Amino acid sequence: MKEPKCKICGGKHYKFQCWQNPRKPIQSKKPLKPLKIAVESKIESNTTKLSSSKKNERKSLVNKLDRLCSEIVRQKGCNSAGENWCYTCGVKKPWKELDCGHFHSRRFINTRWDFDNMKPQCVFCNRNLGGNLQIYEKKLRRELGEDKFNQLLLKSRANTKISTVELAEKLENLKKNYKIP
């Protein structure tokens, strides 16, 4: 029986098993046009730079809105000592040690900054217990009422996108309406 011989390196194996670089470049059937490829790559790199700057602008607006809404929610019911209560377990802590808990996850953009959906929660309830949603739901239903609770549910499931301009307007309105020290 004949031993296999690699066409790339000449070793005792088949060419598809070779780990070495070929001595000769393998030619394809159709030659490539380097000029078009170079032009296309320049165009693509320019468009990605533009779109990434737009993404960064949107991302920074979302982060600013998240931070501002979180501060508003955590400071909303504070006492004179700057303490607030966890919505689900009732622990009293300084507002800076609390989280802003969402009943409907932040991935639902329509209710992400809705104050009916956000309540102050301790770190244990929000992060370790995943929002402690059973107690959260009972209290939220009692507080909002059945109709408003169902509207919040429908609003969270609506498939609409908020534009970057609307995000900027929302941020400006929050800054005007709520003054945080």
Tokens of 169: 């307007």
Give tens-digit pLDDT for 111-131: 999 999 999 999 999 999 999
Tokens of 103: 């009943």
Tokens of 80: 């004179």
- For residue 84, how far is the Cα from the chain centroid? 27
Give tens-digit pLDDT for 152-178: 999 988 888 889 999 999 999 999 988
pTM (two decimals) = 0.67
The span from the CA of 86 to the CA of 121, in Å, is 4
Residue whose tokens read 């165009």: 43
Residue 31 has pLDDT above 60, yes or no: no
Tokens of 39: 């032009």
